[in-house]
Amino acid sequence: MKRILSLFHSGVGNTKLVAERITSFLQSKKIAVKNFSVEHFYSEKINDYEFLIIGFPTYFLEASKVMNEFIASLPRYEKQKYAFIYTTCGLFSANTLYNFAGKLHEKNIHIVHSAVYRCPATDFVLIMPSFRPTLSFENNLQSHIERDLKRTFYCFKNREINPPEFKLYSLLTKPMEAVERKNTIQINNDLCTVCGKCVRNCPHKCFSKNDNGISFEIENCENCYRCIHHCPARALSLNGKTPKILFDNAFYMC
């Protein structure tokens, strides 16, 4: 088997954690794999790999905007490629994987296996911090990952194509999506130290420095909330409510 390429986009840190666990497990089995965030990867290098592992968070029942834009930038490959795709979400992913697989199919990348991993809900913890079921990872996450990888390579060895199935229940989740999109990121200028971390780390360049401190433009925001969770001064919030719990670097190191 040629080297395996693991590509991920992570808003706050859930998908990054899963991607690192995937690569660590494969490396423990002496399988050559490289792991990159699509925010720091040149798409033309994909030609060096036959098998891809692609992970991303679910936002508003779709793959993250960063990941969708990355896939859109790819050419259609003459030689068929294979992939294992997964998404992380706080509650449910609906048809995120189904829709994403369709975009990969257009690039001649075919799915041998797919998976959903339930992780802390980066939005719910800001909106409803007392709703405890959304604050933790699913039980036996590592076992779930290892089981999926074993299934993935069995299917790849036999060249089995297994696209995600369409889920009818997703039709019932549209009202929740509309409510979530109304949330707005706000800056508490009394707390802000103008460290610039939000400016540097926002994948859509929604933040900028000016004479008055930090400004935020909502137009390109996809509500990943990386800025809020990783703000060292807790100066960013959702709808003006100071966050009680942050999924920051310290949280993911625990």
Q: Is residue 178 part of a domain?
A: no
**pLDDT, tens digit (0-9, with 9 covering 90-100), for 27-51:** 999 999 999 999 999 999 999 898 9
Question: What confidence tier does 254 reach under pLDDT thresholds 50, 70, 90?
Answer: low
Q: What is the pLDDT of residue 3?
A: 85
What's the pLDDT tens digit per position in 52-93?
999 999 998 899 999 999 999 999 999 999 999 999 999 889
Contacts of 79 (CB under 8 A, 6+ apart): 108
Q: Are residues 203 and 77 in the same domain?
A: no
Q: 163 with 192, same domain?
A: no
- Are 90 and 116 part of one and the same domain? yes
Q: What is the pLDDT of residues 95-149, one digit of tens each?
A: 999 999 999 999 999 999 999 999 999 998 998 888 887 899 999 999 999 999 9
CB atoms within 10 A of CB 130: 8
Residues 155, 188 within the same domain: no
Query: Do both 160 and 197 map to the same domain?
Result: no
pLDDT in the model for residue 118: 96
Among 147, 173, 199, where does a domain finish?
173
Please check whether residues 167 and 204 belong to one and the same domain: no
Number of domains in the chain: 2
**Which domain-ending residue is among 129, 150, 173?**
173
Residues 22-27 have a mean pLDDT of: 97
Kindly report, residue by residue over 180-234, the tens digit of the pLDDT. Answer: 556 789 999 999 999 999 999 999 999 999 988 999 999 999 999 999 999 999 9
**Do 84 and 147 share a domain, yes or no?**
yes
Confidence at residue 178, expressed as pLDDT on a 0 to 100 scale:
54
**CATH number, domain containing residue 58:** 3.40.50.360
Domain closes at, from 173, 193, 211 = 173
- 232 with 133, same domain? no
Say if residue 144 is in the same domain as residue 191.
no
Are 102 and 135 in the same domain?
A: yes
The verdict on 50 and 147 lying in the same domain is yes
Q: Which domain holds residue 205?
A: 183-253
Q: Which of 34, 30, 31, 29 is nearest to 19 (CA)?
A: 34
